Chain A
């Protein structure tokens, strides 16, 4: 029963090491963290304020119009979008929904700003790819809750640490698919760029990125969806929005509240997914 054989070797202090590194970063790069915190906070608040400032009916109309546009003037999608958003409004969850939307937009935006250049770099350089790949494996298999811990240590509680954890969680597929998309550009198309004397930048922007666009867009779609799912989890460290209602619902065993907030998340998820997927089909 008391198998002590594992205790022959002293425990390697992996956890202590990570803690030490996190402390060290906090001490020496506190100013940087503060700056990031400050900028992200302004960013997310601005989007949130804007979304709440605009009357909800106008936002619903804008989303419906977007649906109409990406489906090449089909009427079904805008109607469903409008019905879904009206239901959220009817459940009196509109402010929370807009807060979640602001978090998703901010997190996805930051994630893509990092992910797409990283993906491009990985596609052009074997060494970069060999470094990035295991890091991505690590990021994707590490349970998402674990990201909440350093986020809290570095940024305290609130929206910003939620965004940071979300960014880390949502980035990998966008990096992978950008890398993959560019690497899958047929050899002869790359040769077209080279043989007519394109510079590396002309090759990237005129041939590789446009040809890889459908794959990159699939990565963007994945990034947005993961961001939405993570902003809900991020409510555990104080991020606001619909996730917070779900969390309260769990804590109070209030099934009605949990269900309503969950349903609102599903509606937003479907709308974001369909909009970004159809954007791929219409060619960006």
Chain B
């Protein structure tokens, strides 16, 4: 089972004080960095570009960790340092306790072969090979026999939903399908860590969203440690269990999507997140109110009317034992029932739309927009967790837009 508690999570990858300087004599730039000089000062003094400036962060096992930032912020360089496609200048990268920058050639080869896979922005499929052989490529490199690698590749192809395309050439597939192949290739070797470099940025928006959903689905099944580079905040918020926001080679803030949105630590983060469509980020649990008042479905209309009068509302939710949701009682119906001597069971409205705590606000808005009645928020067992009214949704959205 997966732990949800952060303290119990195992650290898979630990980056400490990572520095990357592009230039022929990085020692000089390193010394200046130690003096606390800025990236621009160093560029002026030495003509060397500090791409990563003392980057430190942890990635937990089984999470999707998003490196986020504008182009040129160093996120792709950082990703490539993790498997040493780019040689870090100094600092350490510990994966399960092994320090990547200190590995010799053979150790590095084995690390790349067995422990880390990569997915590329431009898909980077080999044009002369069919899908099956593209996916089997990492296994071929390892010297695995054709029979075994084809078997494993077919499994990976099935995992990404491309069964039946084994003998097609990459050029015969659409962009979305090609990137599935890229994903299958990274999964074929069954490596623990997946590095994804702007993996969905080259796809058009509809396909991109579809692929994001599928990645989340897939992650439920394969449970890899995924480090995902993106320049798209919506994508980062959707995919990332945690997000590291980068600027000018530094990690500015690391946290969950909500941390970053609600408590931006610096002006930069604040500015970055201000354009976010909050309706996609917030979910029902963020905007719901306490479920008060509630009336027991076994009590009478008098009780319901009394509660409505007390709270100044025109409807009240009825529950059975343990706050199990039953339906809505409207004030007019209750008055009628009182006259005719009916029970609440007879007048309860059970066809009110309900949502779950994780339903995004964007899906709730059309439900509340044109109705005066509130919406119940129910958990998996059908218990009422909260209620949403039009006012609280609008209030939550406007509060964020400061």
* Total A residues in contact with B, Cβ cutoff 8 Å: 19
Is A93 in the interface zone, CB < 8 Å from B?
no
* CB-CB nearest in chain A for B134: A192
Q: Give the 8 A-B CB pairs with smallest separation, nearest first.
A: A197-B113, A197-B112, A188-B124, A196-B138, A195-B118, A197-B109, A188-B120, A210-B128
User: Please, which residues of chain A bring their CB within 8 A of the CB of B140?
Assistant: 206
Compute how far the CA of A206 lies from the CA of B133 in the bound complex, rounded to whole angstroms. 11
Is B38 in the interface zone, CB < 8 Å from A?
no
State whether A196 and B113 are in contact (beta carbons under 8 Å apart), knowing that A191-B118, A191-B120, A206-B141 are contacts in the complex: yes
Q: Which of A188, A199, A213, A283 has the most chain B CB atoms closer than 10 A to its own CB?
A: A188
Smallest beta-carbon distance A189→chain B, Å: 5
Q: By the criterion CB–CB under 8 Å, are B110 and A197 in contact?
A: yes
Q: By the criterion CB–CB under 8 Å, are A196 and B112 in contact?
A: yes
Compute how far the CA of A283 lies from the CA of B126 in the bound complex, rounded to whole angstroms. 14
Compute how far the CA of A207 lies from the CA of B108 in the bound complex, rounded to whole angstroms. 20
Is B320 in the interface zone, CB < 8 Å from A?
no
Compute how far the CA of A74 lies from the CA of B112 in the bound complex, rounded to whole angstroms. 46
Compute how far the CA of A206 lies from the CA of B139 in the bound complex, rounded to whole angstroms. 13
Is B374 in the interface zone, CB < 8 Å from A?
no
Smallest beta-carbon distance B85→chain A, Å: 6
* CB-CB nearest in chain A for B188: A196
Q: Which of B80, B112, B122 contacts A186 (CB 8 A)?
A: B122
User: Please, which residues of chain B bring their CB within 8 A of the CB of A207?
Assistant: 126
Q: By the criterion CB–CB under 8 Å, are A213 and B128 in contact?
A: yes
Q: By the criterion CB–CB under 8 Å, are B110 and A283 in contact?
A: no
Q: By the criterion CB–CB under 8 Å, are A191 and B128 in contact?
A: no
Compute how far the CA of A76 lies from the CA of B90 in the bound complex, rounded to whole angstroms. 64
**A202-257: which have CB < 8 Å to B?**
202, 206-207, 210-211, 213
Is B117 in the interface zone, CB < 8 Å from A?
yes
Compute how far the CA of A188 lies from the CA of B126 in the bound complex, rounded to whole angstroms. 10
User: Please, which residues of chain B bring their CB within 8 A of the CB of A211?
Assistant: 126-128
Is A263 in the interface zone, CB < 8 Å from B?
no
Smallest beta-carbon distance A150→chain B, Å: 41
User: Please, which residues of chain B bring their CB within 8 A of the CB of A188?
Assistant: 120-122, 124
**A260-284: which have CB < 8 Å to B?**
283
Compute how far the CA of A188 lies from the CA of B202 in the bound complex, rounded to whole angstroms. 14
A-B pair number, CB within 8 angstroms? 62
Is B302 in the interface zone, CB < 8 Å from A?
no
**Which B residues are within 8 Å of any A CB, using their own CB?**
80, 83, 85, 108-114, 116-118, 120-122, 124, 126-129, 137-138, 140-142, 189, 195
State whether A198 and B141 are in contact (beta carbons under 8 Å apart), knowing that A188-B120, A191-B124, A211-B126 are contacts in the complex: yes
Smallest beta-carbon distance B385→chain A, Å: 45
Compute how far the CA of A197 lies from the CA of B108 in the bound complex, rounded to whole angstroms. 8
Q: By the criterion CB–CB under 8 Å, are B118 and A196 in contact?
A: yes
Smallest beta-carbon distance B143→chain A, Å: 9
* CB-CB nearest in chain B for A189: B124
* CB-CB nearest in chain A for B129: A210
Q: Which of B80, B120, B122, B141 contacts A197 (CB 8 A)?
A: B141
Is A49 in the interface zone, CB < 8 Å from B?
no
Compute how far the CA of A87 lies from the CA of B271 in the bound complex, rounded to whole angstroms. 79
* CB-CB nearest in chain B for A210: B128
Compute how far the CA of A192 lies from the CA of B109 in the bound complex, rounded to whole angstroms. 13
User: Please, which residues of chain A bring their CB within 8 A of the CB of B120?
Assistant: 188, 191-192
Interface of B is mostly: mixed
**Which A residues are within 8 Å of any B CB, using their own CB?**
186, 188-189, 191-199, 202, 206-207, 210-211, 213, 283
User: Please, which residues of chain B bring their CB within 8 A of the CB of A193?
Assistant: 141
CB<8 Å pairs between A and B, sample of 6:
A192-B126, A195-B117, A197-B138, A202-B141, A206-B137, A206-B141
Compute how far the CA of A211 lies from the CA of B116 in the bound complex, rounded to whole angstroms. 24
Compute how far the CA of A186 lies from the CA of B127 in the bound complex, rounded to whole angstroms. 11
Compute how far the CA of A261 lies from the CA of B114 in the bound complex, rounded to whole angstroms. 63
Compute how far the CA of A211 lies from the CA of B128 in the bound complex, rounded to whole angstroms. 7
State whether A199 and B118 are in contact (beta carbons under 8 Å apart), knowing that A192-B124, A207-B126 are contacts in the complex: no
User: Please, which residues of chain A bring their CB within 8 A of the CB of B141?
Assistant: 193, 196-198, 202, 206
Compute how far the CA of A262 lies from the CA of B140 in the bound complex, rounded to whole angstroms. 51
User: Please, which residues of chain A bring their CB within 8 A of the CB of B116?
Assistant: 195
User: Please, which residues of chain B bring their CB within 8 A of the CB of A202?
Assistant: 141
Compute how far the CA of A210 lies from the CA of B134 in the bound complex, rounded to whole angstroms. 13
State whether A186 and B113 are in contact (beta carbons under 8 Å apart), knowing that A195-B85, A196-B138 are contacts in the complex: no
Compute how far the CA of A110 lies from the CA of B180 in the bound complex, rounded to whole angstroms. 44
User: Please, which residues of chain A bring their CB within 8 A of the CB of B127?
Assistant: 211
Compute how far the CA of A210 lies from the CA of B138 in the bound complex, rounded to whole angstroms. 16
Q: Apart from A195-B83, A196-B112, A197-B142, what are 6 other A-B pairs with CB-CB below 8 Å? A: A188-B120, A191-B120, A195-B118, A197-B138, A198-B141, A199-B109
User: Please, which residues of chain B bring their CB within 8 A of the CB of A213?
Assistant: 128
Q: By the criterion CB–CB under 8 Å, are A186 and B124 in contact?
A: yes
Q: Which of A193, A197, A206 has the most chain B CB atoms closer than 10 A to its own CB?
A: A197
Compute how far the CA of A8 lies from the CA of B112 in the bound complex, rounded to whole angstroms. 68
Compute how far the CA of A198 lies from the CA of B122 in the bound complex, rounded to whole angstroms. 20
Smallest beta-carbon distance B82→chain A, Å: 10
* CB-CB nearest in chain B for A191: B85
Q: Which of A186, A196, A197, A213 has the most chain B CB atoms closer than 10 A to its own CB?
A: A196
Compute how far the CA of A93 lies from the CA of B317 in the bound complex, rounded to whole angstroms. 104
Compute how far the CA of A213 lies from the CA of B117 in the bound complex, rounded to whole angstroms. 27
Compute how far the CA of A197 lies from the CA of B138 in the bound complex, rounded to whole angstroms. 8
Compute how far the CA of A199 lies from the CA of B126 in the bound complex, rounded to whole angstroms. 17
User: Please, which residues of chain A bring their CB within 8 A of the CB of B138?
Assistant: 196-197
* CB-CB nearest in chain A for B114: A197
User: Please, which residues of chain A bring their CB within 8 A of the CB of B121?
Assistant: 188
Compute how far the CA of A191 lies from the CA of B85 in the bound complex, rounded to whole angstroms. 7
User: Please, which residues of chain B bring their CB within 8 A of the CB of A195?
Assistant: 83, 85, 112, 116-118, 195
Compute how far the CA of A132 lies from the CA of B129 in the bound complex, rounded to whole angstroms. 32
